[in-house]
Amino acid sequence: MNDQTPPLNDAIESPELQRPNPTELTLVTSSQTSGDMATAAIKYRFARLLTTTVALLAIIFGTPFLVQQIQYSLEYGRIIAKYDAAAIHIDSQSIKSISLASELVSYKVTPSVVHIHTSTTKTVSRRSFQHPFAQSNLFPSRGQGSGVIVDAEGYIITNRHVIQGAELIHIQLHDKTEQIAVVVGVDRLTDLALLKITPTSMPPIEWPTTPTTNVGTMVWAIGSPFGLERTLTFGIVSATRRTAKVGTVYQEFLQTDVAINPGNSGGPLVNEHGELVGINTAIVGDAYQGISFAVPAHVVKSVYERLKENGVVSRGWLGLALEDVTAEFLQQRGVSKIDFDPIHGTVITSFPQGLSPAKATGLLVGDILIRFNTTDILDTSHLIQLVGAQQNGDQVTITYIRDGAPETASCTLGLRPAE
């Protein structure tokens, strides 16, 4: 055997044989590190993608919920704030005063209000004042209405259409007593009627201390809607001087938002003092829709006084045809810078054949009428109402514009021809 050959065991146990190659070791370690880093990067990117996806999904599906919750919180906050404010102010003097005013108006006005039931001689004993609930759930509205005592002598104002065609007119007073009324007179053009009963202890309503009622004024209505006597409703005056669109040119309505229904017709509309400001007359449609109309007190009083005195309403008459003044009309006539509001007034367009008090006075077609006595003329309907409030033979003064200059004429009114 060769002595230089080491034994096999010695070769295995030799340190030189067991030590790894440094280059190989470096390559292995570098390869493992690169793999770990790649794996970590992939995991990081996946985690980031997953987080982003979850966030996007949360935004997409969670935002409406969050918005809803925020809106709910805000609305809840508003509700609670209003609740707290109401709890604090509900006992305030202003709220109490409105409620108290309604109570006092009811106490003061209701004794003056009457329920009217009309009938024929064949049905009076069977139908007189039957309670609506005793018949059916369909409350009756035909042949009945409301009225108001305007004089201690027993005079009652109501609507003409309430008593039209009636053979007998039954009046039920606030104290439950009943009387048969007689018709003193009716005025078709304002749809008003004056009735008379024997004097009663029930107090008459008070006339207003001021001649006009302004928009926004609080008003109350008392009447018998659908036969439900002494019903009180409340609202405000929505507009004034509503004319021919809802009636005749002689009807100057107050428009209100007070609830008025069949059976309220003829009943009073009053202010916070319990004074009569109108007679409830009309609604839009068959039942209340937020708009109601009343004949104003100054018209009611004028008609009442003339019916009481004469049994009829005779109206003054000028005898001319009119149309409203417009800016276009003034421009066509070459009228400018005259001493009146150019959108007010009315212009004469023609005269009837035969007698015409206005023509006899010297007025001409094309004259612009701007003042009647001391009242400025607003439009054609306004002048008709002003003239209608006068009587045959009354002397009136008319201011008009001719050739751009104001002039004045004195006229004796004639009697309005029967239609």
Catalytic residue list: 161, 191, 265
Residues 304 and 234: beta-carbon distance below 8 Å: no
